[in-house]
Amino acid sequence: MTHKLELIYFKMRALAEAPRLLFHYTNIKYEDLMSWDYYDKEWSEVKPNIPFKQLPMLIIDKKYEICQSIAIMTFIENLAGINITDPILNAKANAIMQSAQELFMPLNPTVNFAKGEKFIKKKDDMLPFLLSRFEDLEKILKSNDKKFFIFDEPRACDFVTFHHLDLSKMLDPSIINKFPRLEKFLEDMMSIESIKSYLDNRPKLIDVSIEPKLVIDGIPHPTGVKKT
């Protein structure tokens, strides 16, 4: 059965990225919409009526509103029929996905919004956590003989991890350089044609740490929750 799928988000490279990557990888059609384009209202007016008052949210068949990016990832995996059926591997994948997702704060807001001295301070403050979590992730990849975290083909946990590791390059490219197995993981993900094509065509995030903007249809827009 084909569903109408609408992914609602803002102008930032953050929690909608893994769902977008997984939609492209699984070749599931969806519409990508800014909150103000979907609701024709400012975010402050929309927010109180969203189930968990934050985005991304996936609207299914104009009827079901699914918040929480991890819930959206699990839904896409189920819809595509690539969910991990072995209970132990499934639990392992969930632990990886949640551990990668914990990198969200403060990595994503810093890369998307912080400027100047604040950017540098936030980067320095989060560095020990990033190094420790990257080390954990690298250890898991090294301990199995698979290309990705669970199988030789990526699953939801790989896309969530990919997003945060990839974003860390915009915080400081030298962090990931310390982890060759994670770099290989990024390379392997980026060499998948559907992923490469998504990455090549997505809005570019520019002027990070100065005045971050997303280049949408050739026009640079300040990152944020407001229509520009």
Report the interface residues with ligand GSH, using CB under 6 A.
14-15, 47, 54-56, 68-70, 225
Query: Which residue has the CB atom at the shortest distance from ligand GSH?
Result: 54
Angular region, 23: left φ>0, alpha ψ -120 to 50, beta rest: alpha
Measured from the CB atom, the residue of 101 and 209 that comes closer to ligand GSH is 101
Residue 216 and residue 32 in contact, taking contact as beta carbons nearer than 8 Å: no
Q: Return the number of the residue (66 or 141) whose C-beta is nearest ligand GSH.
A: 66
DSSP 202: S
Count CB atoms within 10 A of the CB of residue 227: 15
Contacts of 25 (CB under 8 A, 6+ apart): 154, 159, 192, 194, 195
Residue 226 DSSP SS3: coil
Toward ligand GSH, which CB reaches closer, 56 or 154? 56
Q: How far is the CB of 68 from ligand GSH (least distance, A)?
A: 5
Nearest approach, Cβ of residue 55 and ligand GSH (Å): 4
Residue whose CB is less far from ligand GSH, 141 or 167? 167
Please state the closest distance from residue 191 (CB atom) to ligand GSH, in A.
27
Smallest distance from ligand GSH to CB 150, Å: 21
- Which helix or strand (DSSP H or E) is residue 117 part of? helix 116-143
